[in-house]
Amino acid sequence: MINRLYDTSLGLLTDLYQLTMAYGYWKAGKAEQEAVFNLYFRKHPFQGGYTVACGLSSVIDYLMEYRFDESDLEYVASLSGSDGKPLFENGFLEYLRSMELKCSVHAVPEGTVVFPNEPLLRVQGPILQCQLLETPLLNLINFQSLVATKASRMRLAAQDDVLLEFGLRRAQGPDGGMTASRSAYIGGADATSNVLAGKLYGIPVKGTHAHSWVMSFDSELESFETYAQFMPNNVTLLVDTYDSLGGVENAIRVGLKLRERGYDLTGIRLDSGDLAYLSMEARKLLDEAGFEKTSIVASNDLDEYIMGSLKIQGARINVWGIGTKLVTAFDQPALGGVFKLAAIKNDAGEWDYKLKLSEQAIKISTPGIQQVRRFKDAKGFVSDMIYNIESPINEPVTMVDPYDFTRNRSFSETMEYEDLLVPVFSMGHLVYALPSIHETRRRVQDQLAQFHKGIKRFVNPHTYPVGLEKQLFDLKTELIMKLRAR
């Protein structure tokens, strides 16, 4: 089943209610009505101060192959309602069979640091098609952004040390493992243990041996010597199977023999125990034996908080192996992205702006065909403003905090800025040159370097200013008042 999972179209990678709504649009004669949807999230993951956008490459792959094949249509035709009759009539199935994607998509490039309520993707096109894309787009963006953000936090904790991702065995299935490896590399990991990810994505791969290798020999020393004999150019030895510091001494013995052959002991790995104490004692033993350049690798359910604590304790670790806590986004299993209708064209060809009302202010959506403008000064990024591209921006530019209208900020017309969303698809045709995964990875670090260090704190981070352009704020307020008056 796994081998067959993606050897098919992915048109049905959606929720049933997307198909029932699409059918309703088709029956009501609204299928081709032009609409705009925005994909965004409401709250940073991990109680953090920023999020890393990731998943656009997968979105592009998905949309390039978007279709309903015959097996999809046969399955949809088999679905029935509560009366036992087919849910969908044949005319709708024929519509899906011949449908060609005509949506235009704007998106922030992968690796961009983003904030709540900012559109990561803007989808414009026939409402039926936009609706069908909701679930797969959220699926592709949510998890990847979550893991990329987690990896970037671990990158910050590791500072200049090497950061390795090796969580495939703990990931949620093959797709979860592959997706996590790619996202973790973009977020800041230096390499992965996932060989298939290395092959498909061009990520550096790293790895040596496990406890089972040591346990399969009569002694730890024999296992080390045998490994070094057959793979002398990849000798990082796992030393904690029996006694960690005794294992370090055995690794040093093997390292001395390696040098006689023109090789060196690359590293030792600690996977249990008091990592601060053991790494400091291991460093002493290695340095005294002349192995000052041998790395000390640590693993054992690490995350950014434990890494930070170990550094404060003076641990001598310089390579960090991260598994479960990274690839599963352990402390927050979902980003919570949403996909909301923001505008729809009426019969006169004009935009009617739409808004989802809620008793919770955070769940009230923002209308308009949105773009995000990021302002910067000589020190870096200072503020993001969401605006409606259909409304000319007045000078001076005024931004309003949507949750506290008394907080305004103005920007001079000479202030430097960039608009974050870029064209990706135009009427279903790809118009975007996707950067390499390595360029995307560099973008994350380049972006983070432009923000105040306060937003990068793990505890009580600074809130980066994000708001609505004054006209968009007024539009949203007007729509809320009209809807509440009904």
Each residue's pLDDT tens digit, 124-161: 999 999 999 999 999 999 999 999 999 999 999 999 99
CB contact at 8 A, 56 and 424: yes
Give the per-residue pLDDT at 4.
55
Whether omega before 396 lies within 30 degrees of 0, making that bond cis, reads: yes
**Across 458-472, average pLDDT:** 96
Report the predicted TM-score, pTM, of the whole model to 2 decimal places: 0.96
Give the per-residue pLDDT at 486.
77
pLDDT tens per residue across span 61-77: 999 999 999 999 999 99
Mean pLDDT of the chain: 95
Give the per-residue pLDDT at 485.
86
**Across 421-429, average pLDDT:** 98
At the topology level, CATH places domain 208-317 in TIM Barrel (3.20.20)
**Across 188-199, average pLDDT:** 97
Give the per-residue pLDDT at 8.
76
Give the per-residue pLDDT at 178.
96
Does 109 have pLDDT greater than 90?
yes
Q: How confident is the model at residue 361 (pLDDT cuts 50, 70, 90)?
A: confident
Does 7 have pLDDT greater than 80?
no
Does 2 have pLDDT greater than 80?
no
Cβ atoms within 10 Å, residue 116: 15
Residues 176, 165: Cα–Cα separation, whole Å: 13
- The percentage of the chain sitting over the pLDDT mark of 70, rounded to a whole number, equals 99
Give the per-residue pLDDT at 407.
78
Beta-bridged to residue 325, according to DSSP, are none
Give the per-residue pLDDT at 38.
98
**Across 209-232, average pLDDT:** 97
pLDDT tens per residue across span 239-275: 999 999 999 999 999 999 999 999 999 999 999 999 9
Q: How confident is the model at residue 37 (pLDDT cuts 50, 70, 90)?
A: very high
**Across 217-233, average pLDDT:** 97
The residue ranges of every structural domain in the chain are 208-317
Does 1 have pLDDT greater than 60?
no
**Across 199-207, average pLDDT:** 96
Least confident of 4-13, 324-333, 441-450: 4-13
